[in-house]
Structure 1
Amino acid sequence: MEKVEIDEVENRVNPLKVHSVRKPVSKELGTEHFAMNYFELAPGESFSGGLHAHGDQEEVFYVESGTATFEVGLDRETVAVDAGELVRFPPGQFQKGYNDGDERVVGWALGAPGASHDWDELQSRTYCPECEGERTHDVDMAEGAFELTCTDCGTVQG
């Protein structure tokens, strides 16, 4: 058995610095088949950055307080998730969660299987300067920073 207090979990923001509080609870607990991250999002902050999809993992977000907004799919349909509500994204579905309100959002991101991402299974939607438009990019981690490769033309952005 492992037990931890959220206040004791080290704050580790992602390389994009799109949030100020992210606590990888699953790392602290030593889970192998389940990911769990605690977030506090100030207005304008997001859970992960841009629109993305995990090919190897389904994700569930629980909003403990506040209201989080999620963009879903390539058409970026928006869905509000209020305190006490959850939303699930199957593997391969593009999504982005963020705080577009005036109050702090406290929430949890839960994923399975796996306690961490397989970078070969992560894709992001972002602007490609070569294609001159938003395209799907494969994501890799290189020297602590994200590296994006356009799946249409192969342009690498880092």
Structure 2
Amino acid sequence: MEKVTIDEVEIEVNPLQVHDVRRPVTKALDADHVAMNYFELAPGDSFSGGLHTHHDQEELFYVESGTAEFEVGRDREIETVEAGEVIRFPPGEFQKGYNPEDAEEDVVGWAIGAPGARHDWDEIESVVYCRVCEEERAHGTRINEEGRFEFTCTECGTTFQM
């Protein structure tokens, strides 16, 4: 058995620095089969930074307080998630969750992914602008040795990092 309080879990932010508070509960509890992260999102902050999907993991987001918005699918349909609500994304569904810029309050939320406590980077795709294709394309996504996100266009093979 493992037990922690949220305040005991060290803050680790996304390499894109799209939020100030992310507490990887999975790591603190040494969990193997589920990923769980606690977030505090100020207006303009996001859970992950960009439209993406996990082909090997479903994700659930629980909004404890505030109101989050999610861009869903490649057409980026907006879905609003209020305090006390949960939204689920099956493997392969693109999504991006965030606290809107004009929000009047922070969002406190939880991201839960299963199966697996860690990402299989070969199974993640992000939708970003490709400078060679000159449009948004799906990109393979990984964190490189420098701790930065690296994107490789699935159409032309161009690689860049952020």
Distance in 1 between the 2:9 and 2:50 partners?
25
| Moved beyond 2 Å, runs of 4+ | none
Identity %: 68
- String of CA shifts for 1:99-156, please: whole Å, max 9, x gaps: 0022100000000000010000000000000000100000011121111000010000
Equivalent in the alignment of 1:153 = 156
Q: How far apart, in 2, do the equivalents of 1:16 and 1:117 lie?
A: 17
- How many angstroms apart in 1 are the aligned matches of 2:70 and 2:47? 10
Unaligned segments of structure 2, at least 5 residues: none
The aligned runs of 1:55-94 (5 Å cut-off) are 55-94=55-94
Distance 2:14 2:66 in 1: 22
SS in 2 for 1:88: strand
TM-score, structure 1 as length reference = 0.99
Gaps (5+ residues) in structure 1?
Answer: none
Which residue in the other structure is 2:113 paired with?
111
Q: Please give the TM-score of this superposition, normalised by the length of structure 2.
A: 0.97
Alignment of 1:6-155 (within 5 A): 6-100=6-100, 101-143=103-145, 144-155=147-158
